[in-house]
Structure formats: C-alpha cells, structure tokens
Chain A
Amino acid sequence: MTAISHETQAGELLPLRGRTPSQLFWRRLRRNRTAIVGLYVLVALYASALFAGFVAPYSYDNAVTDLSFHPPMLTQIKLFDEQGKLSRPFVYGTTQTDPQLATYRVDTSKMYPINLFVRGDRYHILWTIKSNIHLFGVDRPGRIYLFGADKFGQDTFSRILYGGQVSLSIGVVGIIISTIIGLLVGGAAGYFGGAVDFISMRAVEVLLALPSLYFILILRQSFGSGASSIQIYIIIVLILALIGWGTEARVIRGMVLSLKEQDYVVAARAMGFSDWRIIIRHILPNTLSYVIVTATLSVPFYILSEVALSFLGVGIQEPEASWGNMLTAAQNPRILGDFPWMLTPGVFIFVAVMAWNFLGDGLRDAADPRTLS
C-alpha cells in the first residue's frame, strides 16, 4: 500500500534518476498493456486450475456413456422459458436420438435451472481442503456440458480445469528445477573455470545439439512404464528440466565470468568467504533480472512439451486429464469433423502460452534499460 501511494503522490515529482532500478522496472512493466493483460490471464488460468474441483461442475472422471459426444451448452443457456417468461438461467434436457452418430434432440419439457453452490462429486484442493460443493451445476438427471462432452460423456469444461492443473503446473515446476540447475552449473563453470568449466560446457553443447523432443521421448520410453499418474508427472518434469537447463547455464557462465572480476567479489574473497557463498550470495543475485526473463519465456517450452508427450500417449494417462491427452481424442478426422469442440483444450493451451509470451516479452522490455524511451 505504501509503495502505491508513494507512486501516485510523488510519481510526477520525482526525477527519473531518483528512483531505484526496481521502481523503474515496475513502472515500465505497468505501462506495457499486453504484458499486464498476459499477467491477468495467467492469474485467472492458474486460479481456475488451483480451484478446479470447486469451479468444475463434475469430477474429471465423472462419465455418463449415454451422453457420449454431447454438444456444448454454453450458447444454449436460456433466460426465457417457452412462454417467453424471464426466469433464472436454465438449460433444457436432451435425449439421445442416435447412439451411433451421437445426435441429440432438445427436450423442452425438462428444464434444469443452473444453481450456485450445489453438492456433487467430492474433490480436494491441494490435498488439504476437501469438499463436495461446486460453484454451479444442475440437478440430476440433467447435466451441464458448457464445452460439450467427450467419448465417455465426461464434461470437457471440468476436464480442462483439471487438465490445467497438470499442464500449467508442469511449466512452473519444470522451470524452477531447470533454473536452479542452470544457475548452479553456470555459476560454478564461470567461477571455477578449468575442468569444471570444460566438462559442463561440453555437456551443454551436447544438450543443445540434441533434438530435444525426440530425446524426451527416448527418456520417457525408458522410464516409468506402468507408473502411476503422479509418478509420470514427476518423471516428465524431471526429464524436461534435465533437457532444458543448457542455454541458461551457458549465459549465466558468461555473466559470471565478467562479474567475478568485479571489486566486490575480490573484496568478498579477501574477507575469506567460501567459494559457494560468493557464488550464491554475491554473484548469482546480479543475474536475477536475466534469469526471471528467460525463465518466463521458457515456460511455454515446458507446457508445449507436456502437451506433446500426452498427445502422443506417453504422458499423463486417461482417466486423468491433461490438455495434451484431451486433444488425442481429436486425432481422428471423423471425430474432429463431427465434434469440433474436442479442440477446446487447444484454445486453452494457446491462450496460456500466449499469455506467458506476452508477460515474458514485457518483463524483458522492462528489464532492459535500452528500451527506456
């Protein structure tokens, strides 16, 4: 609160050079509209994934095979009933007319009002809050399919929210692990030089020369056949982090090479601090703005890799949802042509990746003093 009032009261009075670098940074970031939009979109997406159990009307594996490929109801939500009378939002019930073609007929005799805070499938949020109250829903036997249903009659909207837990978190967890590896390896290579430098940089060269997706596949096929979902998740994160730290380490090494000649590092060494203390406490913090920018811009790589693996069938397995394995169902051109809503998870991947790119670009522009004008 104090920071904000300081900004608004003295914002125009303070000369530009009177501000700290981080104040300048935030000021530049806030002026970048696309970056802020990206930030808000990400907050919304991650919040909806975190509270997926609450926001989603059904559990990810709540299947009704009679309602296979039910079309989306988002545009079918009605405010006026048959007589044209205004009522609370409701949907009409549907009956399946042909199980083979998965066609449905609207049954206007059945009205299902959309209720808030209804009881339904049990869920938990981060394994701590357990509940069965959902944000919205309709009374049984009616069902609400905002984005349609898949082959098993599972709600696409609910599965997208649950899938986001996997697809969105893999990017963040993966980037944290690989950034730590990159910082430590790059820091050590730059600081110690010699054999440490030689070996780690050759390793980076191999990593960068590898066709990464193929190598991820090879690794994935080698580990964890018959593993549980959570094990597969961990394996995927580790594989992606193991592949991804190369570029980061190389640039950090370059920065450390010049930073370690600075007077303050020489002073720290003269005071007898240990090498690792100097690297971690004194040198690496100076690479922070670079690290944050590259980390943000690298998140899409992790999200897209998870999507690719799950799409190819070697990632998160059914019935657990991930944005990648939900798209697998759309691979059949006939299904895709008849039930195009199977592509909805793709829209979410696209939006999430775009938002990360917007935010990363904004952070880079804000961190780079050359773009001050």
Chain B
Amino acid sequence: MRTYLIRRLLSSIPLIIVVTFITKALLVLSPGNYLDNLRLNPTISRDYLAYMEHLYHLDSNNVVERYWYWLWPALRGDFGYSFSATMPVWTLIGERVPNTLLLTGSAMVFSWVLAVPLGTLAAVYRNRWPDKLIGLLSFFGLSIPSVFFSLLMVLFAAKTGLFPVGGIHNQVLWSSMTGLEKLIDTLWHLVLPTVVLGTIGMAQFVRQMRSGMLETLSQDYIRTAQAKGLSRWRVVYKHALGNAINPLVTLFGLSLASLLAGALLTEFVFGWAGLGTLIFDALSNKDEPVVMASVVMLVLMLVAGSLIADLLLAIIDPRIRVE
C-alpha cells in the first residue's frame, strides 16, 4: 500500500515538470513582462527597474535558464514573492486554495448525492417516465454553460434577495460575527455556486450511474437474487449498487479537471476569491511566480484526485487490489 502510494506520487513528478516547463516557456516567450506596467510610471527610477529585472531574471530570454531559476528554489519549497501582491506566493495561494476546495468539494458532494439515487431510479424505471425526466435533467446539466447558469443564479439572487449575489462572506459584518454565524454566512454564500457547479457535474454522473446500474441489473447474480424472492429495492440497494457505482468512482478522478475549469467561471461570476480568479489575474499582469505556483497546485489537485479515486475504488471493490 505504502509503496503504491509512493510510486504513484513519484510518477506524477515528470508530469509536473513537463507542465511547469511548458508554462514557463510560454511566459518567457510571450512578449512583455510584469515590469512593463511599472515602466509607464515615471516615479519609478530606471535603476530600480533594472535592479528588479536582474533580480527576477526577467532580462534573460533563455527558457531553460529561466526555468532553472524557478525550479531550483522551488525544489526547496521557495516559490518566491508575488510581483503584484508583494507577499510570499504560498501565503497568497494558501488563502485561495481552501476557498476553491470548499467550492469544488461541496459541488462534488452535491452532484454525488443527487446523481446516485437519480441514476439508480432511471435505470430501475428504464424507458418509463422517471427515466425520461431524469434524462432530460441530465441533458439540461450537460448543456447549460456554467457562465450562463451562474448569471441566471445571480439574477435570481438579485431579484429575490434570498441569496447573496457574490463573494464568500459578508464583508461588512464578517469581523463582528461569532464562529457559528461565520459558518452559516459562508454556507449561505456557498449555496448558489454549489448548485451551478453541482448540477453541471451531476449530469455526467447520472448518465454513468444509469448505464452502470443497467449493466449490473442484467447480471446473473441479480436474477438469482430476484429468484430467491428478494424485493426489487432490496436487490438494487443491497446487491447491485455496490457494483454499479464502480465506474462512477473512476469518473470522479477524470471529472476533476472539468470541475476546476467550471469553477474558474463560477468563481469569476460570483466573485469567489479562489484559485481560478487568482490565476486569471496573475496571467493578466504576468505575475510569473503566482502563475507557476498555481499551476503546480492545479496539477497536484488533479493528481491527488485521481489517486483518491483509485484508492476509493480499491476500498469499495474487493476484487481490486492496490499493489
């Protein structure tokens, strides 16, 4: 088990290196750098700019050299300072990652909690009205653009006033809240973005769950269980569910990338201060250390996601052994 974990983590190292190298190469080769904005400011002296340029190695256009200047300190855990926010990159990322994890995590829970029963229902009532209704619902989730859905939710919030139109918590009252109030306030702000991301994620899970359940229900051992006189729902719940859910767990690891992509747009519309908006801003003003560290974070999250999926699969399915 431990060797498996170590091997999986080691095998992600080449991936991280390739991805960060490509990112760095694109940042270096594209015209302009962070100092361009400062150059327009006459109060900043030429000497200081030259000093900065040298300090951050922005004067070199050699990709390998620039990558090395980033990689060597990064290997020792030093990801440098953000150009624009003038604070250590880790502090900045450390503020944003929990927000993104909170959003994607709750969206994930939302979509699973809905997808498993709905997919099962659709399979059991195959080609009857519950199946058709659920199929329509999953088509809706599959087709609605997250930007549009988010904006619809903002419109809903603005018209009814039931939910906040954006942000992670109430900026005005936050400092005077007690712990419990803070929790409620955060959950309150979490509802709409979760519904958006969760519905979109749910769509593909429902389809997978339905086809997995249909496949399982056609197996011999299910017929045996039925022949022994077990009730239909007992067969589904006790005998079929465990097997039907397997492909869904595999999908969990694969769906993380699209979840994070959807999270970027949802964060953008709802003003959710997460990793997505951080990367977008850092890219806009060429804040290289932040871009690099965020990319590392993203890849790590994806690797961790697929690892968790594999481990979950091994726990659920006794036929699969981790080695």
Contact = CB atoms under 8 A, between A and B. Distances in A.
Contacts of B26: 218-219, 222
B147 interface: yes
Interface string B140-182: 1011111110011011011100000110000000000000000
A353 B269 contact: no
B19 A206 contact: yes
B152 A312 contact: no
A208 B148 CA distance: 26
Contacts, number: 120
A346 B280 contact: no
A357 B142 contact: yes
Given A221-B283, A311-B265, A312-B280, A300 B148 contact: no
Interface stretch (B57-65, B256-264, B312-320): B256-264
Given A206-B19, A211-B257, A222-B29, A331 B298 contact: no
Contacts of B139: 354, 357-358
A330 B29 CA distance: 34
A269 B29 CA distance: 45
A315 to B, nearest CB: 12
Contact of A218 (B155, B269, B283): B283
A209 B299 contact: yes
Given A206-B19, A222-B29, A214 B279 contact: yes
Nearest to B261: A213
A251 to B, nearest CB: 14
A304 B260 CA distance: 15
Contacts of B148: 327, 343, 346-347, 349-350
A307 interface: yes
B187 interface: no
A348 to B, nearest CB: 10
A210 to B, nearest CB: 6
A340 interface: yes
Interface in B208-253: none
A333 to B, nearest CB: 4
A324 interface: yes
B81 to A, nearest CB: 21
Contact of B261 (A208, A214, A330, A340): A214
B73 interface: no
A272 interface: no
A111 interface: no
Question: Which interface class (under 10, 10 to 19, 20 to 34, 35 or more) fits B?
Answer: 35 or more
A357 to B, nearest CB: 5
A343 B147 contact: no
Contacts of A218: 23, 26-27, 283, 291, 295
A333 B148 CA distance: 13
Interface in A335-363: 336-337, 340, 343, 346-347, 349-350, 353-354, 357-358
A349 B144 CA distance: 8
Contacts of B146: 304
Contact of B147 (A209, A214, A219, A324): A324
A212 B298 CA distance: 11
Q: Please classify the interface of chain A as helix (H, G, I), strand (E, B), loop, or mixed, using the class held by over half of its residues.
A: helix
B27 A222 contact: yes
Nearest to B265: A308
A63 B139 CA distance: 37
Which of A211, A312, A358 is packed against the most chain B CB atoms within 10 Å?
Answer: A211
Given A206-B15, A225-B32, A358-B139, A213 B264 contact: yes
A117 interface: no
B268 interface: yes
Nearest to B275: A214
A212 B257 contact: yes
A217 interface: yes
Contacts of A349: 145, 148
A223 interface: yes
B8 to A, nearest CB: 13
Nearest to B136: A34
Contacts of A350: 143-145, 148
Contacts of B143: 300, 350, 353-354, 357
Nearest to A221: B283
Contacts of A214: 260-261, 264, 276, 279, 295, 298
A357 B159 CA distance: 31
B31 interface: yes
Contacts of B3: none
Interface of B: 15, 18-19, 23, 26-27, 29-32, 139-140, 142-148, 151-152, 154-155, 157-159, 165-166, 257, 260-261, 264-265, 268-269, 276, 279-280, 283-284, 291, 295, 298-299, 302-303
Q: Which 5 A-B pairs have the closest CB atoms?
A: A346-B148, A213-B261, A222-B30, A354-B143, A337-B158
21 contacts: A209-B299, A209-B302, A210-B299, A214-B298, A218-B27, A219-B26, A225-B32, A308-B145, A311-B265, A331-B269, A334-B158, A336-B154, A336-B158, A337-B155, A340-B155, A343-B152, A349-B145, A350-B143, A350-B148, A354-B139, A357-B142
Given A214-B261, A333-B154, A358-B139, 8 more contacts: A208-B257, A209-B257, A209-B302, A218-B26, A331-B151, A331-B269, A340-B155, A343-B152
